[in-house]
Amino acid sequence: MNEMIAHLTPALPVILAGLLAAATPWYGLRKAITLAGPLLAAAMWFAVAAPGTYGVIEVAGHTLETFRFDATSRLWGLVFIIAAFLNALYGLHGRSRLQDAAALIYAGAGVGAVFAGDLLTLFFFWELTALASVFLIWASATPSAYRAGLRYLVIQVLSGVLLLTGAVIHADAAGSWRFDAIGLDSPGGAVILIAFAIKAAFPLVHNWMTESYPKATPFGAVVLSAFTTKLAIYALARGFAGEDILIQIGVVMALFPVFFALVADDLRKTLAYSLMSQLGVMVAAIGLGGQMAIGGAAAMAVASVLYKGLLFMTMGAVLAQAGTVQASRLGGLWRAMPLTALFTLAGSAAIMAVPLTVGFAGKALALTAFAREGMDLVWLALMAASAAAVLHTGIKIPYMAFFAPPREGGVDVSKVKEAPAGMLMAMGLAAFLCVYLGINYGALYDLLPYRATYDPFSYGHVISQLQVIAAVLAAFALLARLGLYPRPRPGEILDVDWLYRRLGYGVARWGWLMTDRLWASMDNVVMRLGKRAAARLHETFSPIGTLSRDIPSGALTIWTGALLALVLIVAYFAS
Amino acid sequence: MSGRRREAGTHPLAALWAWTAAPAARAVGLIVLVVAALALAGADWLRPREDYVGFAAAPGFYALLGLGAAVIAMLAAWPLRRSLERREDYYGGDDGDE
């Protein structure tokens, strides 16, 4: 029995808990289910005795490997299970059955995808993540959230369709559905890379994230931030490690969002751009390949799930309690939400890679891999992006929400209450993990796909990181004092989504109008021709028409003679 | 805040952060941060670092990197925002979104 349970994918209890939650109207029981699902999954994870492929099933002649437990998948699986538990804890106060169910099914799909040993199983869970997660955006129940959700769903499903297409081509060429190193040598590989690129929010296909995360519910954004992009990073690490093109894409991805994160007024949008920048460092590290770089990408993914999840939690708490996360309307919330402020600072410290936080241990591996390989310019670009992260997230998020002077006409701090106990517990636990894994970094490194022998606490590394952070903090304080810091203000900052939300929509609308007019014109022409033909026929054949008129017998004789002559000529030549 | 009645809506644990609202906090904070940044940068001259990247081993390199990245990001944000910023309901908000 124990062996049978150990051979089931840990995704199963999480998804089943989601389905049960959907069918359970009783609040207490439902919340117990949401916590029990991830705990059971964790128990199954720990019950696995040795790496291997379990949960093999035959479907329609295909062998599906639902539980591949190896060095890479076990790390991501565990982190996803921890994130699912933290999310359930964070959502304890929530009354929405839909969100409870969607969050668990989505998390379970993420766990299932990282344990998938073949491309068909991966595709199934890949699409399930898209279908389940969109409800976390729609749960906001605003027209703009509904439209953002639709766009999100379209692009996520497209990613799945591309994955299936690429998988079919790849399997045909490779003779196997196994999900291992894919590479870009075959057309199937290129199509699969595009599918992964969409979910990883590569530049130009990133707006599904920066648009939908701020539109999701406070709880929804926390859940969304944990799984989709990190699943894509896992898929890239497994399928495309060492592909050079990922280095260039990663560098662009790390630098491009810096400006947007800095000026965004919505603090959850800032976090979404900040997440994209961090994903860029991971993508570049995967492109570099090698044990240290892949280990660094994995460590950063773990760290990102924790500290980015924590920051989304704190901003979700601010949204829930203050009614907005617009930086231009916030400030002074430390009076009403001191514990949330404390946890925000813990998340900020981790994202700034302050020594003794998980961000420091994670980032150190990835960036040092580039330095060791002699890729100085790439290293410099990624270091600059990391320094900018100190500014646009590490400083901006806590300062704008909690420590900036309250804005005129903004949120009335005296009416704001501290976050509910469940939220505080989840934030506290996430903050604890951010610090615990920073101090006890060996626990993190032991879980990495490759055993890391790197010591992040060398004098050179600690002092250099402190120098970067202190310099950015000083620059911020100085420029803010001089009025040169671009304080966020209400407004829309145009991004690539302008191409389809404005230009593409305009072109499509113009095309639709033109087609409509063309149809109307053609309709008019056809109607006019029809009317004219009907009139002619009427004129000829009706009882008052030409053929009914009295014809003079002389003319009739001539016509008869002419027709007879014509028949004779035809008969002569035909004979 | 201790010893005084708390302001309406102020959390009991807000005392943890009350120092941030002190009148001199900003000026003192600025001085502390600048001095800390200079002291940390100066540490390179007292104890040289080793680095995998040749030019990064230069004293004060990381402090300059942080300063440069932050200043460039903040100053570049002004013209970029001016060119890309639109009104809040540019996409129509809840009524439209296109």
The nearest CA of chain B is from the CA of A87 a distance in Å of 25
A142 three-state secondary structure: coil
Give the span between the Cα atoms of A253 and A243, in whole angstroms.
Answer: 16
Do residues A86 and A39 touch, judged by C-beta distance below 8 A? Answer: no
| A184 DSSP β-pair partners | none
Buried residues in A33-59 as b, exposed as e (16+ CB within 10 A): bbbbbbbbbbebbeebeeeebbbeeee
CA distances from A471 to A40, A138, A280, A478, B64 (A): 46, 42, 23, 10, 7
Residue B96 has pLDDT above 80, yes or no: no
Contact assignment for B66 to A469 by CB distance below 8 Å: yes
Contact assignment for B65 to A335 by CB distance below 8 Å: no
Contact assignment for A493 to B81 by CB distance below 8 Å: yes
Task: Report pLDDT for A558.
Answer: 86
Task: Report pLDDT for A5.
Answer: 65
Residue in the block written with tokens 């009914």: A548
> Alpha helix locations (H) across A352-498?
358-372, 376-389, 396-398, 421-439, 441-447, 459-481, 498
Give the pLDDT band (50/70/90) at residue B6: low
In chain A, the largest separation of any two C-alpha atoms, in whole Å, equals 123
State the DSSP string of A27-73.
Answer: HHHHHHHHHHHHHHHHHHHHH--SSEEEEEEEETTEEEEEEEE-HHH
The nearest CA of chain A is from the CA of B25 a distance in Å of 11
Q: List the single residue in B7, B37, B71 with the smallest CB-CB distance to A470.
A: B37
Residue A492 DSSP code? E
Q: List the single residue in A144, A332, A341 with the smallest CB-CB distance to B94.
A: A144
Q: Provide Rg for chain B, Cα atoms.
A: 22
A165 three-state secondary structure: helix
Domain ranges of chain B: 12-84
Task: Report pLDDT for B75.
Answer: 96
Q: List the single residue in B8, B73, B87 with the smallest CB-CB distance to A414.
A: B8
Helices (H) and strands (E) in chain A, counts: 24, 3
Give the span between the Cα atoms of A84 and A472, in whole angstroms.
Answer: 34
Give the span between the Cα atoms of A314 and A337, in whole angstroms.
Answer: 10
Report the length, in residues, of chain A: 575
The nearest CA of chain A is from the CA of B97 a distance in Å of 6
Task: Report pLDDT for A106.
Answer: 98
- Which A residues in the span 538-567 are in contact with B, Cβ-Cβ below 8 Å? none
Q: At B88, give phi and psi (nearest 5°).
A: -60, -35
Domain ranges of chain A: 1-240, 242-491, 501-574
Task: Report pLDDT for A59.
Answer: 85
Pull the structure tokens for residue A264: 């965004």
Q: Check CB contact of A432 with chain B, cutoff 8 Å.
A: no
Residues of chain A whose pLDDT is less than 50? none
Closest-CA residue of B relative to A387 is B66
Do residues A282 and A288 touch, judged by C-beta distance below 8 A? Answer: no
B70 contacts in chain A (CB < 8 Å): 387-388, 390-391, 471-472, 475-476, 479
Pull the structure tokens for residue A454: 């790197």
Cβ pairs bridging A and B (under 8 Å): 204
Q: List the single residue in B9, B40, B92 with the smallest CB-CB distance to A415.
A: B9
Residue in the block written with tokens 């003679």: A561
Contact assignment for B66 to A471 by CB distance below 8 Å: yes
What value of ipTM does the predicted structure carry? 0.91
Residue scoring higher pLDDT (B96 or A319): A319
B86 three-state secondary structure: strand
Contact assignment for A463 to B97 by CB distance below 8 Å: no
Buried residues in A293-321 as b, exposed as e (16+ CB within 10 A): bbbbbbbbbbbbbbbbbbbbbbbbbbbbb
